[in-house]
Chain A
Amino acid sequence: MSNTVAIAPIKRKKKASEIINPIVRYAILIIVALVMLYPILWLFGATFKTNNEIFTSISFIPKRIDFTPYIKGWQTSTEYTFATYFINTFQIVIPKIVFCLISSLLTAYGFARFNFKGKSILFSLLMATMFLPTVVTRIPLYLLYRDLGVLDTYVPLIANTVFAQEPFFVFMLIQFMRSIPRDLDEAATIDGCGHFGILWRILLPTLKPAMISCLIFQFVWSFNDFLGPLIYITSLEKYPVALALKMSIDASSGVVPWNQVLAMSIIALLPALILFFSAQKYFVEGVTSSGIKG
């Protein structure tokens, strides 16, 4: 009896807080969400506004819908349109994705499923490169690519992925592979399956979600990459979207046609946004499985 008396008030108290708590939580969540997303919403609205309206209204809803900024922005003030810059970007992004998936998968398989001499040292080196500040290797790499005569081509931007030199992806695949039971491999071996057969027929189908995570992160990161092209790409006709956008605010530094620049910014954000909303769960899995750079 005494027990019920003692517990009862606590229970009642908990109920009161259970009602207030969610309201406070939702209030915080909504305010944070507004602060987070308003800039992007406003950016979207601004692309339909006249230059004058951009600087006078803080509402994201434009007074009238006008596609002129998109049309003029797309044409750019250079001899190329954004179509060229998008094609250039995809000429970098697509090979990077393909090479990255293949090379990271093979490397991860080697580390996750084989025993060989020096494996633990090599694995530590792989992990160390994850934390290695890339700023140290930037200059010698530039000189290396200069000596190879491939400056102002996409080779320096893609080469890393051919050799699985983006340890985040290798690490993520190793983590996923380790979670696949070895019994399957053994059963396949008994059935006469070679090691490549195991990778191809047993592991790869199970790894599909992880591979999709790799694909979309590689897509977004290489699409957004700015420093790489800034260092290596010098001719305008080879510019990817990132450099073209940057140029659009420099070239006309006197009077920036902000509505056009912002319209092209929205276009530049679209591929990542579309991909994200169609493959949300893979993003979340990818981030939480190995942790990524912010």
Chain B
Amino acid sequence: MLKNEKAGYLYILPWLIGFIVLTAYPFINSFYISFTNYDMINESKFIGLENYVNLFKDADFIKSMGATFKYTFLTVPLQLAFALFVAFILNDKLKGINFFRTAYYVPSLLGGNVAIAILWRFMFQPDGFINRFMGIFGIHPVAWLSTPGGAMTVVVLLKVWQFGSAMLIFLAALKEVPGDYYEAADIDGASKPRQFWSITIPLITPTIFFNLTMQLVNAFQEFNGPYLVTGKGPLNSTYLASMFIYDHAFKYFHMGYASAASWVLFVIIVAVTLILFGTQKKWVYYSDGGGK
């Protein structure tokens, strides 16, 4: 370890300046703005809790929080379960594993691109690819984009489809599980599903925890998918909190109101994360070293 203090500061200086100017200051400022009626035109005035009070009376906001919760609690478990399941199948030494690993990662890689959102919107048109595909099996066309449930399904599917990066992280964790654990279980006659539940899952709980936290924080802030594919959706069914905040901030320039909304979302994310950390002791098993 180099003990040259000055040099140490020097190297992190750009980051430190950036942290103060581009992260810490905006963070505090946003809290302050949330107590004002700032709208980019008129002089900013301190109005106390008025924005927050109004938010909880705003049916659009309440609805958007509901949609955000629905979206988060549908996508995160589905995506993680799917990622884990596929990683488990991929973990054995099968021929062509690299091909599949690649194939499953491609959607994660491209998912953020507007092009994919366009494709999604297009596939779920009334006479689009999905409905015609289901038609082959005699299933009636579904009004994907014009019913609340349909629209939510479409954006949830878009997210779940991008399970690749979570899968890669799981795959790395599965590789760390010692093979002799399974051999011992084989000799004891434990079935594969049994082994999965009693050996695999407990040993990779730190990774599940990490993935879960990351995905939750991201899902609560999701913007691109719904904004591009369904917009607000029928009856605002896919009007997520981040879209509400975007509209109020950058369309109507209600900066105070939008900041307050972003703080409500922030507090909810922090609360959910803290609850998750609180439950950690009950189900996350760190090996001797105390985890990563």
Where the two chains meet, the residues of A that have a C-beta atom closer than 8 Å to any C-beta of B are 10, 14, 21-22, 25-26, 28-29, 32-33, 36-37, 39-40, 42-43, 55, 58, 103, 106-107, 109-111, 113-117, 119, 122, 125-126, 129, 131-144, 159-160, 162-165, 170, 182, 185, 195, 198, 220-221, 223-227, 231, 241-242, 245-246, 249, 258, 261-262, 264-266, 268-269, 272-273, 276-277, 280, 283-284, 287-288, 291-294
Indicate if the CB atoms of B8 and A284 lie closer than 8 Å.
no
**B67 at interface by CB-CB < 8 Å:** no
User: Could you mark each residue 157-178 of chain B with 1 if its beta carbon is under 8 Å from any beta carbon of chain A, else 0?
Assistant: 0010111011011011000000
Interface residues of B in 107-150 (CB under 8 A from A): 107-116, 118-123, 125, 127-129, 132-133, 136
Where the two chains meet, the residues of B that have a C-beta atom closer than 8 Å to any C-beta of A are 1-5, 7-12, 14-19, 21-23, 25-27, 29-30, 33, 79, 86, 89-90, 92, 94, 100-116, 118-123, 125, 127-129, 132-133, 136, 159, 161-163, 165-166, 168-169, 171-172, 186-187, 189, 192, 210-211, 213-215, 217-218, 220-221, 223-224, 228, 242, 245-246, 249-250, 255, 258-259, 262-263, 265-266, 269, 273
One of B4, B8, B221 near A133 (C-beta < 8 A)? B221
Indicate if the CB atoms of B249 and A139 lie closer than 8 Å.
yes
Min CB–CB distance A141 → chain B (angstroms): 5
Indicate if the CB atoms of B109 and A245 lie closer than 8 Å.
no
- B residues in contact with A129, CB < 8 Å: 19, 23
Indicate if the CB atoms of B132 and A58 lie closer than 8 Å.
yes
> With A36-B104, A133-B265 in contact, do A227 and B223 touch (Cβ < 8 Å)?
yes
> With A119-B8, A135-B245, A185-B2 in contact, do A140 and B92 touch (Cβ < 8 Å)?
no
Bound complex: CA A61 to CA B177 (Å):
43
- B residues in contact with A223, CB < 8 Å: 113
Indicate if the CB atoms of A125 and B19 lie closer than 8 Å.
yes
Indicate if the CB atoms of B14 and A116 lie closer than 8 Å.
no
Min CB–CB distance B184 → chain A (angstroms): 13
> With A113-B1, A115-B5, A133-B217 in contact, do A294 and B266 touch (Cβ < 8 Å)?
no
Indicate if the CB atoms of B22 and A283 lie closer than 8 Å.
no
Indicate if the CB atoms of A269 and B27 lie closer than 8 Å.
no
Indicate if the CB atoms of A40 and B106 lie closer than 8 Å.
yes
- B residues in contact with A43, CB < 8 Å: 115, 119
One of A10, A110, A272 near B189 (C-beta < 8 A)? A10
Indicate if the CB atoms of B103 and A165 lie closer than 8 Å.
no
Indicate if the CB atoms of A249 and B118 lie closer than 8 Å.
yes
- B residues in contact with A36, CB < 8 Å: 103-104, 106-107, 161
Given contacts A133-B220, A160-B22, A231-B246, 4 further A-B contacts (CB under 8 A): A10-B189, A110-B9, A137-B23, A246-B228
Min CB–CB distance A287 → chain B (angstroms): 4
- A residues in contact with B101, CB < 8 Å: 284
One of B107, B115, B168 near A288 (C-beta < 8 A)? B168
Bound complex: CA A262 to CA B123 (Å):
11
Task: Report the nearest A residue to B100, measured CB to CB.
Answer: A29
Min CB–CB distance A235 → chain B (angstroms): 16
- A residues in contact with B133, CB < 8 Å: 58
- A residues in contact with B90, CB < 8 Å: 29
Indicate if the CB atoms of B262 and A136 lie closer than 8 Å.
yes
Indicate if the CB atoms of A131 and B109 lie closer than 8 Å.
no
Indicate if the CB atoms of A265 and B115 lie closer than 8 Å.
yes
B109, B166, B215, B218: residue with the most chain A Cβ atoms closer than 10 Å: B109
B23, B92, B94, B161: residue with the most chain A Cβ atoms closer than 10 Å: B23
Indicate if the CB atoms of A276 and B129 lie closer than 8 Å.
no
Task: Report the nearest B residue to A137, measured CB to CB.
Answer: B26
Indicate if the CB atoms of B118 and A245 lie closer than 8 Å.
yes
One of B3, B12, B129, B211 near A110 (C-beta < 8 A)? B12
Min CB–CB distance B246 → chain A (angstroms): 8
Bound complex: CA A109 to CA B12 (Å):
8
> With A28-B89, A115-B5 in contact, do A110 and B255 touch (Cβ < 8 Å)?
no
> With A36-B104, A110-B9 in contact, do A14 and B2 touch (Cβ < 8 Å)?
no
- A residues in contact with B7, CB < 8 Å: 114, 195
Indicate if the CB atoms of A283 and B16 lie closer than 8 Å.
no
Bound complex: CA A33 to CA B133 (Å):
17
Task: Report the nearest A residue to B80, measured CB to CB.
Answer: A294
Indicate if the CB atoms of B113 and A14 lie closer than 8 Å.
no
- A residues in contact with B161, CB < 8 Å: 36
One of B5, B11, B127, B215 near A109 (C-beta < 8 A)? B11
Indicate if the CB atoms of A29 and B23 lie closer than 8 Å.
no
Task: Report the nearest B residue to A104, measured CB to CB.
Answer: B15
Bound complex: CA A137 to CA B121 (Å):
30
> With A107-B11, A113-B2 in contact, do A258 and B122 touch (Cβ < 8 Å)?
yes
Indicate if the CB atoms of A115 and B1 lie closer than 8 Å.
yes
A36, A40, A135, A221: residue with the most chain B Cβ atoms closer than 10 Å: A135
- A residues in contact with B265, CB < 8 Å: 133, 135-136
B7, B120, B159: residue with the most chain A Cβ atoms closer than 10 Å: B7
B18, B123, B128, B132: residue with the most chain A Cβ atoms closer than 10 Å: B18
